[in-house]
C-alpha cells in the first residue's frame, strides 16, 4: 500500500525554505530584531508541524511494511526512532531524540533562550527530515 507523502514533502520543503531564508537574512544582518524574532517563530512552528508529521509517517511506514509483531514493537517515540534506524529510515536515532526534546520544549515553555535553542535545533532538523522523506519515497511501494 502506498503512502501519500505529499503532506510530508510539502511540510519539509516549507520548513527548508523558511529556514534557509532566515539563516541567509541573519548572516546578511538585514533584519531588525522584531522581524528576526517573527521569522524564528515561524521556523519553530514549521518545525513542530514537520516533526509531528515525520514521526507519524515513520510509524505508518513501519506498520505497513514489517511483520505485525515488529510493527507493534515500538512502544515509545524513542523505540520508534531506534526501530526506524534499524530499518534504515533514519540515520541516527539520537538526533531524533533531540528533536523530540526540542518539540516538547515548545509545548511547555517559551522564553528567549528556549526559543533560540529550538530554532537552532529546527535548522539542524531540516537535513534529517529531507533524508527521511527521500527514504520513504524510495521505499514507497
**Within-domain flag for 39:** yes
| Domain of residue 59, CATH code | 1.20.120.330
Distance CA 18, CA 26 (A): 12
CA angle 99, 68, 9 (to 5 degrees): 40
Closest CA to 45 of 125, 113, 139: 125
| Residue 38: per-residue pLDDT | 87
Beta-carbon contacts of residue 18 (< 8 Å; ≥ 6 apart): 39, 42, 43, 46
Q: For the chain, what is the domain count?
A: 1
**Within-domain flag for 91:** yes
Active site residues: 103, 108
Closest CA to 38 of 108, 113, 115: 115
| Residue 67: per-residue pLDDT | 77
Domain span holding position 103 = 6-138
**Within-domain flag for 89:** yes
Chain position carrying cell 533562550 = 113
| Residue 118: per-residue pLDDT | 94
**Within-domain flag for 26:** yes
**Within-domain flag for 1:** no
Distance CA 78, CA 67 (A): 20
| Residue 4: per-residue pLDDT | 96
Q: Flag residues of the chain having pLDDT under 70.
A: 1, 26-28, 70-74, 108-110
CA dihedral 126, 132, 134, 138 (to 10 degrees): 180
Amino acid at each position: 500500500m502506498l503512502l501519500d507523502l505529499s503532506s510530508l514533502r510539502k511540510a519539509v520543503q516549507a520548513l527548508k525554505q523558511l529556514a534557509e531564508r532566515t539563516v541567509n537574512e541573519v548572516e546578511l544582518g538585514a533584519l531588525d530584531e522584531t522581524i528576526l524574532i517573527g521569522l524564528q517563530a515561524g521556523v519553530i512552528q514549521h518545525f513542530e508541524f514537520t516533526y509531528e508529521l515525520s514521526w507519524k509517517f515513520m510509524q505508518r511506514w513501519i506498520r505497513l511494511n514489517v511483520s505485525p509483531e515488529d510493527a507493534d514493537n515500538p512502544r515509545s517515540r524513542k523505540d520508534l526512532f531506534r526501530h526506524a534506524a534499524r530499518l534504515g529510515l533514519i540515520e541516527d536515532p539520537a538526533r531524533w531524540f533531540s528533536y523530540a526534546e526540542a518539540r516538547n520544549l515548545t509545548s511547555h515553555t517559551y522564553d528567549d533562550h528556549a526559543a533560540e535553542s529550538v530554532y537552532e535545533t529546527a535548522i539542524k532538523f531540516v537535513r534529517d527530515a529531507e533524508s527521511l522523506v527521500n527514504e520513504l519515497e524510495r521505499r514507497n511501494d
